[in-house]
Amino acid sequence: MHLLLAITGDPKAQRWIEAFQRQLPDARISVWSDDAEPVDADYAVVWHPPAALFTRETRLRAVFNIGAGVDGLLSVPTLPADLPVIRLEDAGMSVQMAEYVLHALWEVSRDFAAYRRQEPEGNWKVLPVTRREQWTVGVLGLGQVGRRVAEATASFGYPTAGWSRTPREIAGIETFAGSDALPAFLARTRVLVNVLPLTDDTRDILAAPLFAQLPQGAHVINVGRGQHLVEDDLLAALESGQLAGATLDVFRTEPLPAEHAFWRHPAITVTPHTAARTLRAESVAQIAGKIRRLESGEDAGGQVERGRGY
């Protein structure tokens, strides 16, 4: 069995090879190179692969995406329509995302950001105690990652709701499903967390009409994709006071250009797409397990439904 790795942007290809070789000792492993001959790979493991991969490697039985979001892979024009696309399912990402969101939530709900602003002035001012019931959290997307985020905020006593495409039941979480339920979900949400996949239905969802349905002074945390957010609408909502702040991990253009207005905006916190990193050992173990299942004719799990885009 032949495995081809095409992990754009990761200079440590050798470590991926070693990790896969440990998990799949009988596999042949190649690394993609623009000018190599076809290797007739059975499986490709990719992150933002070059379009030429799918025209050169025509015997692939499945492609594994080493991330949860497959928007980058699905947009490769040469990706065959019938090639199974398999994504990472959690693989150590959801706990990182829960940490990230809790940190961003506590910055505002526990006034840590405000205390940091007081520090340079030597200002010993104790701010009002946090009333958790006033810090309603709403999570857009209740999948592998969003569910863990919602459970984490709920476990600290923040009234938490989640929104998904199909109805979900999660203990301790108020759940909403479908576009008809979105207004009610937004109306009760003071801290909005976006963990949706990027699809035709969710692109540009974080825009003026949605912001207008949140309570005034709401906070937005975007850890989904940059293309979910209409940037000018965010700036306008902050300017008008409809939103009080935003914590952003993902951007339409990454890296976020140094001159971008978000970097220096006092109400925006920027992190460089780091909310939940792909962990090599966990990812390789998961993909190797899926390959073994495929090789024995079983369902691998995590196969993307191409029609719905996630």
Active site residues: 225, 273
Q: Which does 283 bind (CB under 5 to 8 A by kind): ligand OXD, ligand NDP, none?
A: none
Give 255's contacts (C-beta < 8 A, 6+ positions apart).
Answer: 272
Asked if 267 contacts 261 with a C-beta cutoff of 8 angstroms, the reply is no
Kindly state whether residue 68 participates in binding ligand OXD, applying the rule CB under 6 A: yes
Minimal distance in Å, beta carbon 269 to ligand OXD? Answer: 18
If the CB atoms of residues 166 and 296 are measured against ligand NDP, the closer one turns out to be 166
167: number of Cβ within 10 Å? 11
Binding residues for ligand NDP restricted to 59-78, rule: CB under 6 A: 68-69
x/- track of binding to ligand NDP for residues 80-119 (CB under 6 A): -------------x--------------------------
Asked if 197 contacts 74 with a C-beta cutoff of 8 angstroms, the reply is no
Amino acid code (one letter) for 25: P
Kindly state whether residue 226 participates in binding ligand OXD, applying the rule CB under 6 A: no
Query: What is the Cα–Cα distance from 267 to 243, expressed in whole angstroms?
Result: 9
Of 49, 67, 138, 159, the residue at the interface with ligand OXD (CB under 6 A) is 67
Minimal distance in Å, beta carbon 148 to ligand NDP? Answer: 8
Amino acid code (one letter) for 200: D
x/- track of binding to ligand OXD for residues 229-268 (CB under 6 A): ----------------------------------------
If the CB atoms of residues 159 and 162 are measured against ligand NDP, the closer one turns out to be 162
> For the residues of 71-114, what is the DSSP string, one character each?
HHHHT-TTS-TTS-EE----TTHHHHHHHHHHHHHHHHHT-HHH
